[in-house]
Amino acid sequence: MTMNLFPKSSKFPTVPKTNKRNPRYVLLRKARLDLHRRALRAQRRDQSEVCGVLIADSKCRLVLHFLENRNASPGRFEISTSDLKAAQKTARSIGMKMVGTFHSHPIGDAFPSRSDLHHAKPNSLMLIYDVCGREVGLWKIKKKLSGKTYDKLPISPVTR
């Protein structure tokens, strides 16, 4: 199954120049609005989280590929291995790369929790959306001797 994450008719705004050391990621307004709409609906329904994978093109534009949350507990998320593999295959087939995951925090800040860090892969990205504060945080997960940590990455809002 092939999915078109960027419709052919899409015209993208100019993206800030990036380099491999300090890429500047961009989340399009439409993707952010879709994330807010879905996350707010899940929060109101049963305090559940929405989740999925982050896919990036060569210009560091992020695509949110929503996946089913396999954990029914409020404030938790889980993505199945088979869903991750399928998303990675789809991203590769359209010349893009899976760079991490995203999820919402129904009643918390847009910072990685202990559980988020425990399940995250080192050197991956994690985007977290705070439903109440309407804030987006983008984090680079790093491994260190005492466990995992994270660095905040800049994310450029784009209005189109």
Question: For each of the chain's 160 residues, which pLDDT tens digit applies?
Answer: 333 443 443 343 333 444 556 678 999 899 999 999 999 999 999 999 999 999 999 999 999 999 999 998 998 999 999 999 999 999 999 999 999 999 999 999 999 999 999 999 999 999 999 999 999 999 999 998 888 999 999 998 765 5
Query: What are the sequence ranges of the domains in the chain?
Result: 25-158
Report which of 97, 4, 98, 94 is spatially closest to residue 52, judged by C-alpha positions: 98
CATH code of domain 25-158: 3.40.140.10
Q: Which two tokens stand for residue 91?
A: 């991203």
CA distances from 91 to 8, 21, 62, 138 (A): 16, 22, 12, 20
Global confidence as pTM = 0.85
Contact 126, 108 (CB under 8 A): no
- Give the pLDDT score at 159: 54
Q: How many helices (H) and strands (E) does the chain have?
A: 3, 8
